[in-house]
Amino acid sequence: MLEFSIFIAYLVLGVSLVLIFFRLILGPSLPDRVVALEMLATLTVGFIAVYTLSSGVTAFLDVAMVLALTAFLAAVGFARLIAKGGSRDDD
């Protein structure tokens, strides 16, 4: 049952990854693309977590935590840029 659940998790994460890449490429504005990059980092953390479950190597969880914290800092930095009057369009 665990193998089936892991397969379904990989399937859902893979479909989400494809949809996020479409939003990243076709995003009409810069904030849309930044949100897509944040989701990409979140999906990568999900992939690492599912891989940790399937392989049993817990060292990958440290990598997932570092990636999540880095993505959070990037989101905070972008929010500060927008709050200080940075460009919001692709113009």
Tally of domains in the chain: 1
Q: Which domain holds residue 29?
A: 2-84
DSSP assignment of the chain equals: -HHHHHHHHHHHHHHHHHHHHHHHHH-SSHHHHHHHHHHHHHHHHHHHHHHHHHH--TTHHHHHHHHHHHHHHHHHHHHHHHHTT---S--
The predicted model scores a pTM of: 0.83
User: So what's the pLDDT on residue 83?
Assistant: 82
pLDDT digits (tens, 9 = 90+) for 31-79: 888 899 999 999 999 999 999 999 999 999 999 999 999 999 998 998 8
